Structure 1
Amino acid sequence: MKLHFIAIGGSAMHSLAIALHKKGNNTTGSDDAIYEPSKSALEEEGLLPAELGWFPEKITRDLDAVVLGMHAKKNNPELKQAEELGLKIYSYPELLFEISKEKTRVVIGGSHGKTTITAMILHVMHYHGKEIDYLLGAPVRGIENTINLSDENDFMLIEGDEYPASAIDLRPKFHLYQPNIALLSGIAWDHINVFPTFENYVEQFQIFISSIVKGGILVYNEEDETLKNLAENTENQIRKHPYFTPEYHIEDGETILETSEGDMPLEIFGKHNMNNLAGAKWICQHMGIDEDDFYEAMVEFKGASRRLEKIYENENGIIFKDFAHSPSKVKASTQAVKDQYPGKKLIACLELHTFSSLNSEFIQQYKDTLNEADEAIVFYSVEAISQKQMQSISTEEIKNAFNNPNLEVVSDTSALKNLLESKDLKDSVLLLMSSGTFGNLELEELKALF
């Protein structure tokens, strides 16, 4: 096929473009900004656009299809040209479905844990030499590519998120995959700029459950009451397999999973990760891996990148970096680290920088999320609020929202660094939680504090 990618620099878009190029398709693309690692990856494959910007002349009648990334707007000149020529326009989830419609599609969804569960499944498959196709939402430690496409593999494993498919198709991506096997890890409202009410957000998961092919399988976390209610009341004719957090305990800073085959030490930790593991086990069993083989592989699983990732450790303390930013993730990660290291002082540092986390109404959802920390810090950028054209938020509002009068709030990167330098970090754990960079805080400088 001859394909053109509008907004080729996106994390999923550039990976899909490269994968299709490697399969022999004639692939081109455009974008007005391309950052690392997309830039180097595209350049290596000869797919990096010669110039940044939008060029309607690239959209010609001989194209079989145009693939539209979420970064491109409705008025994008290349999109307008494609519409005028009547070309087939796919969002990347639509194209992915077309590619995989003859395969068994396994879609991992939920407000939290998607990347970790998908990474667990992929790790187990690779450990046992079972080749599958897949699409990951983010890089995973030990996995070279975020996408793998083949003609011969039976399964297509997809991390399915709730964000809109494209500027001209506002359906959540995971509505478009029509899974044969699906997993939902839980429902925790976020993304208020996309889903203005909790009810509207929950409805998206109801639609997803309805999209599972008849006779298909839904694996779901029965500890989430909202999700449990949706699963039990769906009219879709599917098989349902609930899961729950397995028994485990902690010995000398090591998490031990209690299985029918005996105690099993793990590299990962935290109740939420034990819950993720239970869901991944069900999916792997449906993909032909028995329970004993699953556990054998999981002993060596070190976690997904930036998900409670240990980035430094010495005799004085430990630094973890975690992608957590939504209230449910912040609470789970803080609790997990406190449980794992009860004898150490926990300093939890959270960056608020997403649209929802900086919203003065939504921020109330963060109540008590940092209370397990011995010392808690919230960082936000005044510039970020200005860029998002949002109403300013005060230190007192943040403290009140978190229900934590001892919370330390800073809005400048140098002030954050000075605050951390002033602390006694002996025998402590520093937990950095953000999907951003704390205003480009240098992590190497933090390591020197221990």
Structure 2
Amino acid sequence: MKLHFIAIGGSAMHSLAIALKQKGYEITGSDDIIFEPSKSRLKNNGLLPDEIGWDETNIHQNIDAIILGMHAKADNPELLKAEELGLKIFSYPEFIFEQSKNKTRVVIGGSHGKTTITSMILHVMNYHHKNIDYMVGALLEGLDNPVHLTTENDFIVIEGDEYLSSPIDRRPKFHLYQPNIALLSGIAWDHINVFPTFENYVEQFKIFIDSIVNGGILVYNEEDPEVKNLAENTENPIRKHPYKTPDYFVDANHTILETEEGDLPLEVFGKHNLNNLAGAKWICQHMGVDEADFYEAIASFKGASKRMEKIAENNATVIFKDFAHSPSKVKASTAAAKEQYPNRKVIACLELHTYSSLNTEFLKEYKGTLDKADEALVFYSPEAVEIKKLEEVRVDQIQNAFGKPNLQVYNKPKDFKNALFQKDLNNSVLLMMSSGNYGGLDLEELKGLI
């Protein structure tokens, strides 16, 4: 089968392309820009386009189907040619569903925690040599590709993103999977450019619950009031299993989980990650892994890539890189750092980089999110605001929105770097939260500070 990927450079798209080539499909692709690590991974798998850019001659009748990425626009010349020729066009979630129609589909949804929960499940399955298919949003130790598709495996575990499927399919991705088993971790308003009100955003998760097949299973976080309300009031005839944060304590900068088998030291930390662990345990039990085997495996889980990832440490200082950018994630990560290292100074750095975070109306959602930090720095780029065609954001607006005394706000990369590099990092935790790169900050140079 011949498939052509329009916007092959996307994080999920390029991983799907690699997985399908490994499965035996003939793959071509195009994109107008490809960043690392997608570029190197495509090149290593013989899938990097010869030329960067769109070319309608890439599209012809010999192609069996097009897989269309969100990065492409509706007027993309290759897409227009495919539509003219009447070729079958899939978004990548549509194609994942096509590949998993005859499998037990396990879909992990929620505004936060879904990558970590999915990664925990995959770690446990990999530890116990249980072969499953999967699609996760981050690289994970022990797995060579975030997407794995076979003909023979019974289960597929899918990270269910609520963002749109493609430029011509405006449905959230997780509406397309029709799960047999689903998990819902939490609801905290995000993607304001697509879901302009909180009520509209919450509605997407109601639709997700309604999409679970009759007689299926919903595992849900009962500590989240929105999730609890949706789960308890759904009319979908499904089985429901609530979960909550298990008992744990922190001792000498180590998190210990209390279990019936005894105390279990963990590699991950933070209340939000213990809550994630409880959800992952339920899912693994539904997939045939008992509680004792789950605990044996999860003890060695070190986290998903870019999620509270320890990038440097000495006796006096530790530096974490975290993908956190939404208010709920920023608050959870900052609180986790302070809980894990109560006797150290927590220096939290946050880049406002996404459409939502740079929206003047949405900024108020960040109030109190950095309160647990001893010192906090926020960076944003006026150029990013301009590119996203948003209203100008002022430094004083950001300071007022967060409501944190002595919050330092910078809008020039050089000023942010100078302020950060002048910090006394002795006996401290440096938490770098961003989905960007702070205007070009070199993390290797940052590691050299300790």
Do they superpose with TM above 0.5? yes
Q: Which residue of 2 aligns with 1:20?
A: 20
* 2:343 pairs with 1:347: no
Q: Which residue of 2 aligns with 1:448?
A: 448
Q: Which residue of 1 aligns with 2:264?
A: 264
SS at structure 2 position matched to 1:373? coil
Give the CA deviation at 1:43. 2.0
* 2:28 pairs with 1:35: no
Which whole-Å deviations, capped at 9, do the CAs of 1:281-301 have from their partners, x for residues lacking one?
A: 000000000000000001111
Q: Which residue of 2 aligns with 1:224?
A: 224
* 2:110 pairs with 1:110: yes
* 2:412 pairs with 1:412: yes
* 2:225 pairs with 1:215: no
Which whole-Å deviations, capped at 9, do the CAs of 1:137-181 have from their partners, x for residues lacking one?
A: 122233221111111111011001011110000000000000000
Which deviates the most, 179-188 or 39-48?
Answer: 39-48
**Amino acid aligned to 2:338:** K
Which deviates the most, 200-209 or 59-68?
Answer: 59-68
Counterparts of 1:87 and 1:446 in 2: how far apart (Å)?
49
Give the CA deviation at 1:445. 2.1
Counterparts of 2:403 and 2:414 in 1: how far apart (Å)?
26
Is the contact made by 2:19 and 2:145 (CA closer than 8 Å) also made in structure 1? Answer: no
* 2:309 pairs with 1:309: yes
Which whole-Å deviations, capped at 9, do the CAs of 1:48-104 have from their partners, x for residues lacking one?
A: 221122222222222221111111111111111111111111111101101110000
Counterparts of 1:228 and 1:180 in 2: how far apart (Å)?
19
Q: Which residue of 2 aligns with 1:240?
A: 240
Q: Which residue of 2 aligns with 1:382?
A: 382
* 2:307 pairs with 1:319: no
Give the CA deviation at 1:27. 1.6
Q: Which residue of 1 aligns with 2:202?
A: 202
Q: Which residue of 1 aligns with 2:62?
A: 62
SS at structure 2 position matched to 1:24? coil
Which whole-Å deviations, capped at 9, do the CAs of 1:306-362 have from their partners, x for residues lacking one?
A: 111111111221111111111000000000010111100111111111111111110
Which deviates the most, 377-386 or 243-252?
Answer: 377-386
Q: Which residue of 2 aligns with 1:430?
A: 430
Q: Which residue of 2 aligns with 1:167?
A: 167
* 2:192 pairs with 1:192: yes
Q: Which residue of 2 aligns with 1:290?
A: 290
Give the CA deviation at 1:389. 2.1
Which deviates the most, 426-435 or 61-70?
Answer: 61-70
Counterparts of 2:21 and 2:121 in 1: how far apart (Å)?
26
SS at structure 2 position matched to 1:202? helix
SS at structure 2 position matched to 1:130? coil
Q: Which residue of 1 aligns with 2:178?
A: 178
Counterparts of 1:37 and 1:421 in 2: how far apart (Å)?
27
Which deviates the most, 39-48 or 173-182?
Answer: 39-48
Give the CA deviation at 1:413. 1.7
Counterparts of 2:94 and 2:59 in 1: how far apart (Å)?
20
Counterparts of 1:422 and 1:176 in 2: how far apart (Å)?
49
Count of residue pairs brought into register by the alignment: 450
**Amino acid aligned to 2:352:** L
Q: Which residue of 1 aligns with 2:2?
A: 2
Give the CA deviation at 1:8. 1.3
**Amino acid aligned to 2:123:** H
SS at structure 1 position matched to 2:42? helix
Counterparts of 1:217 and 1:90 in 2: how far apart (Å)?
27
Stretches of structure 1 that go unaligned for 5 or more consecutive residues are none
SS at structure 1 position matched to 2:255? strand
Which deviates the most, 300-309 or 284-293?
Answer: 300-309
Counterparts of 2:358 and 2:14 in 1: how far apart (Å)?
30
SS at structure 1 position matched to 2:404? coil
Which whole-Å deviations, capped at 9, do the CAs of 1:188-226 have from their partners, x for residues lacking one?
A: 001100110000000000000000000100000000111
Which whole-Å deviations, capped at 9, do the CAs of 1:407-438 have from their partners, x for residues lacking one?
A: 11111222112112322221111111111111
Counterparts of 1:202 and 1:254 in 2: how far apart (Å)?
36
Q: Which residue of 2 aligns with 1:365?
A: 365
Give the CA deviation at 1:387. 1.8
Counterparts of 1:119 and 1:415 in 2: how far apart (Å)?
36
Would you identify which runs of 4 or more consecutive aligned residues in structure 1 move more than 4 Å? Answer: none
Counterparts of 2:375 and 2:303 in 1: how far apart (Å)?
26
TM-score by length of 1: 0.98
TM-score by length of 2: 0.98
Counterparts of 2:103 and 2:138 in 1: how far apart (Å)?
22
**Amino acid aligned to 1:31:** D
Q: Which residue of 1 aligns with 2:145?
A: 145
Q: Which residue of 2 aligns with 1:46?
A: 46
SS at structure 2 position matched to 1:43? helix
Stretches of structure 2 that go unaligned for 5 or more consecutive residues are none
Is the contact made by 2:245 and 2:278 (CA closer than 8 Å) also made in structure 1? Answer: yes
Counterparts of 2:106 and 2:65 in 1: how far apart (Å)?
25
Give the CA RMSD over aligned residues. 1.1
Q: Which residue of 1 aligns with 2:84?
A: 84
Q: Which residue of 1 aligns with 2:124?
A: 124
Give the CA deviation at 1:6. 1.1
Which deviates the most, 28-37 or 88-97?
Answer: 28-37
Is the contact made by 2:6 and 2:78 (CA closer than 8 Å) also made in structure 1? Answer: yes
Alignment identity in percent? 70
**Amino acid aligned to 1:107:** V
